[in-house]
Amino acid sequence: MDLTILPGKLNGTVKVPSSKSQAHRALICAAFADRGTEVICRTVSEDIEATVRALVMLGAKIRPTEEGYQVCPAPQTRTSDGDEHTFDCGESGSTLRFMLPLIGVCGAHVRIEGRGRLMQRPISELTDVLKNKGMTFIRQGQHLDVRGALRSGLYTMPGNVSSQYISALLMALTLLGEPSEIHLTTDLSSSAYVQLTMDVMRSFGAKASAEDRVFKIRPLDRYHSPGRFIIEGDWSAAAFWIAAQALGSDICIKGVREDSVQADRLAGAYITQLMNAGDTEIDVDGCPDLLPILAVTAAASSGKTVFNGARRLRDKESDRLEATAAMLRGLGVSCELSDDTMTVSGTGGRPLSGGAVDAFNDHRIAMSAAIAATVCESPVTIRGAEAVSKSYPGFWEDFKSLGANIICQ
């Protein structure tokens, strides 16, 4: 789907969708809990549906409700029936990484199917430690065959590749009946996402602790359901509207918690820095998903901005560094890339040119280009605008409700 957005500021009130990151974690804990859980989640995206499919495949019963999901956990932790099960992971990297050790908890034999770039995204550091604890993995094109029974014990791995590896192990090892430890050989990147995992686990009665580079996991037979769990608003979605505010739109944003531990809660502070600091540097290692919209904000500000710690963005739904650069250049903005950095030259408040950009099948590129259109002198055409359904399926409806003039092509 191609959309053309006419230049113009936005005005009105928007309620952000539920946090995709928190929803993944809450649904997993609920699926392995001691009783049913009502998960209040006002937004359903393709990534969350992928996690739901996986948990149903592992034996949970999950029923959509008007407010989210009713989760009835699998009747027992180990659900292997000897048969091979298949599920479609879509393009959800979170689902893929979180499910790998959980499949081992269940002793299941599963064929995982993926789409887009999913099966090219890194998982080897995670599968290597799982192989040492009883699991096997066979990759066949866009399929990954997984089997084996996971064992508790000591897990040693780097912390600077993906925080999702640590989150996956924390949620799974809790269910193995004996204590385990995770020792990191490097500092932990994106540590706020691991903190989010541990917060959700605590809400379900788990007791994992972290000190320096060591995580200690106390086992449970099952997670302890709180009965009802409310998914908070998504700061990574709010970041687009915060940027639009800074660029001159009049938007009231509702649904996010100021005390959230979500990594992308930093969006407001970074956007303020970009609009006021002139030449500046921002490290996005802890919040890589913010880079595309921060880059748009930097393009419309004064001075030159250097974004550091961006290497891991090359392994997202697209090579997100290259995709962001292509978007900016398509709108007349000068930017430079290295392996780990992006440098954006601001226009000093002058309008961006407008033009045609490709979303590269990346939801965050599509939404960032839409916000960029509010400060362009000519229309912006976004090719592949349907990519927003991965995380924020109601984005275009919200965008229109704020007064955007959109032409569907």
Catalytic residues: 289
- The b/e string for 135-161 (b: 16+ C-beta within 10 A; e otherwise) is bebeeeeeebebbbbbebeebebebbb
SS (H, E, C) 260-282: CCCHHHHHHHHHHHHHHCCCEEE
201/208 Cα distance (integer angstroms): 8
Tell me the sheet residues that pair with 157.
Answer: 184
237/44 Cα distance (integer angstroms): 13
Helices and strands of the chain, counted as H and E runs: 12, 22
Which 8-state DSSP code applies to residue 351?
A: P
DSSP structure string for 209-275: EEETTEEEEE--SSB---SEEEPPB-HHHHHHHHHHHHTT-EEEEES--TT---GGGGHHHHHHHHH
The torsion region of residue 28 among left (phi > 0), alpha (psi -120 to 50) and beta comes to alpha
59 SS3 class: coil
- Give start and end residues of each alpha helix (H) in 43-185: 46-57, 93-106, 124-131, 163-173
Answer yes or no: are the C-beta atoms of 154 and 213 closer than 8 Å: no
Amino acid making up residue 396: W
